Chain A
């Protein structure tokens, strides 16, 4: 963790790139590209050639390898195709690891190109699963190509042997030039070119033949100009709202500003030394690159944030947090068997450790994006997790009997896993549409309502525990009453946040659209949670339900929360349906069934136990 406090040198991971509306380190970009094609954020041993004898390769090293040596990319078996039907129709041999290399995939796709062009024209709803996967392989193959050739205009790939030509270009014979260099010096060759065109081919000199060859090579390289994905050169103007450009776009535009030119030249030399494995020189060029960025594009790029993000990518804070939560859970379970007091304390410390990593991860995201913690579905999952753990830690501090640790580890761990599922869709730090782009309301409404979700889930778990303990020890009324009191408090706490989160949402809507309430599905979802909790509280206060019924009600509240949180996205209507994900319906149904069975099951079992007890 100290690494973040100490200033770190700029390295190739930190090269800023603009993608999907924001500036991010190259590291994030290539990780997400690799994730798209290969399904993981770094290359594992199974995709590497055996002779390399390496444990794995970072996404960035892989990227530089395929970009600096576009013709040698075949050694990586990174195309992950797991559908046997797709594998067969691409004419590939079945590989138990589902991994194939570029050439294999490209050859297969070429044979199916007719089919692919047909399905590309179809509307999305008509595509079969096979079709979508086929299209995915196709787009991945293109993506790979654009990555691999994205820097080819900067690579020293044209060698000049002839002295006359070398002289005209003011270089030494045998030197290698890049496409970019040669194009910059093109006017120096114009007199030679003129001679070449006017002269009879029979009378061509050696230099004429080489010039013709060079022109051929240039033409060949210019075929790579489709590879425009790598938008790493900031706009000359330094304007926030202007687009960044990729090296190939700049080659095409011929309107390269002086600062952009400096960046390109530095980058070019950096790549050259990287090919030669000259680390000292390439590092010094990176330092120069950083200096150029920080001096010339001062207002545009915050390099500290970019570095911070690179660090965050590597640190995997949420994985560490999960590890701690799991450890806390295991220690707690062991503490039920032996040395309860000590183990419980260590376990609580682990929970707090996990909480610290969890918190730090969220904190870094706030710093990097300069916006409040919750603005996407993914972020809401992580945030609800932390709220649950905080509530649980307070409970543990209060009760000191392990119950808080249990709830915290379960909520934190499970939600982290759900979050990881979402994170696999790619960059989790996306930009927001205009109407959400308001830090004030994101900070108030969204944060409040998400705290409400977290507190509600916490209350729901407490409800579960109350029911379970009523089955286990129905006679210990005093103990059960304490849980019931905690549950009641947790419900009030949850209601406070869901109610005001919902009202604040209305106020945001009033401010932005002029209506307080529009009966939009997400609004209705939030309203349902609020009404459910108000109903449960009134039922309990007026004595219409007993503590056990109240606990059941709060267990069922979990279903309401999940439906309001994820379920409304299934309707695919309204202002809030920003987070649709396939397969979500099945998970929601499973969760609902699970809660119904465990909730009602434990409720009736507990009732039965109570009856038995009074019968004695």
Chain B
């Protein structure tokens, strides 16, 4: 047992992990010149293993976990449990908390956008990176029945079926980035819907993955009707795809993955103020109403002044200026680890100050001695 502890608490491990972490940070920073932030994070910082062509190396997540283990074993050192080292102990405790908080955030936090037009309202968050295929049965007069297929299912050659649907969907191709391209010749007979007039042209993925416009080419089969055939769909398609199978009407949409909230937010007014005589923005703000269980609250969200409600935080993130008014973009985050940095920084601050004040007289004495001699 002691042997294991001795191995894990060795400061060399810490030095090696921190050097490796520095290497990762340098590489991950430089690569941002060419790749998007999300891709860089996935490759360097949120990864367990990084492949440098054929060589596997520990990724950011693994490196930090090793560092955390090493730090935790530090407390097995008997020599540190002295008043003189109290500052150091507190400092390392803070460091551990910071790493744990980082881990919690990495594992459990979720973030996305809420996009609301002036005069409109919304009760869901849209994911930055993941898509979903929504199939909406609009036949009933009272309600719409939603069937949602998540991003991991939207891969080439996968067949999507569900008891609510009386047909099958086969994903023929998933395009990370594409644009509709008008057909010049008449289409083959199996093309239906949008694909009758357009093709989906695959494009090179953009630097940031949320600039992409993904698209799917899919086949509907086993409906037993003339609806069977090949279809195409892309994100933000202006004319939605509708099909009907045996008296059931369906709308098919490819959209950013949605998370629904137990409340809704309506935008009354979005304001942008510039420094007069310049194009430099001075402030952005959204005048919103939060509706929850028929209780209505008016709230102002500003830059640096977010709304926190039910564990969600809404930040003024961006805006779209359109011909019929403005649209606000709120960044929404749910983070269970968000208090850790606050607590750990206070603890570390106390520890470091404690240590410095213990050390200071020492340092001064040494140089005084020198002057005396």
Contacts and interface: CB of A to CB of B under 8 A. Distances in A.
A241 B275 CA distance: 7
Contact of A535 (B15, B111, B281): B15
A398 B364 contact: yes
B343 to A, nearest CB: 11
A441 B338 contact: no
Contacts of B315: 512-514
Interface stretch (A163-171, A288-296, A432-440): A432-440
B45 to A, nearest CB: 6
Interface residues of A, number: 71
Which of B33, B102, B341, B355 has the largest number of chain A CB atoms within 10 A? Answer: B341
A478 B371 CA distance: 11
Interface in B182-203: none
A592 to B, nearest CB: 13
A55 interface: no
A518 interface: yes
A519 B45 contact: yes
B123 interface: no
Contacts of B254: none
Interface stretch (A373-381, A567-575, A594-602): A567-575
A435 B32 contact: no
B281 A527 contact: no
Bin the interface of chain B by size. Answer: 35 or more
Interface in B326-346: 331-333, 335, 337-338, 341-342, 345
A503 B282 contact: no
Interface stretch (B17-25, B149-157, B225-233, B242-250): B17-25
A218 interface: no
A433 B281 contact: yes
A566 interface: no
A531 B276 CA distance: 42
What is the predominant secondary structure among interface residues of chain B facing chain A?
Answer: helix
Contacts of A18: 276-277
Given A438-B304, A528-B26, A518 B363 contact: no
B72 to A, nearest CB: 16
A253 to B, nearest CB: 15
Contacts of B359: 489, 492
B338 A21 contact: no
B261 to A, nearest CB: 15
A400 interface: yes
A524 B25 contact: yes
Nearest to B367: A482
B275 A521 contact: no
Which of A433, A516, A538 has the largest number of chain B CB atoms within 10 A? Answer: A516
Contact of A499 (B28, B337, B352): B352
Nearest to B340: A516
Contacts of A513: 315, 317, 331
B356 interface: yes
A531 B64 CA distance: 13
Contact of A244 (B32, B40, B277, B348): B277
Contacts of B341: 503, 506-507, 510, 516
A516 B100 CA distance: 13
A407 interface: no
A143 interface: no
B313 A514 contact: yes
Contact of A21 (B41, B102, B278, B348): B278
8 closest A-B pairs (Cβ-Cβ)? A21-B275, A514-B333, A503-B345, A542-B11, A21-B278, A482-B370, A524-B29, A434-B281
7 contacts: A437-B282, A485-B367, A500-B348, A524-B29, A535-B19, A544-B15, A571-B29
Interface of B: 11-12, 14-15, 18-19, 21-22, 25-26, 28-30, 32-33, 37, 40-41, 45, 98, 101-102, 105, 111, 273-278, 280-284, 303-304, 306, 313, 315, 317, 331-333, 335, 337-338, 341-342, 345, 348-349, 352-353, 355-356, 359-360, 362-364, 366-367, 369-371, 373
Given A503-B98, A510-B338, A516-B341, 5 more contacts: A479-B370, A504-B345, A513-B317, A528-B22, A538-B18
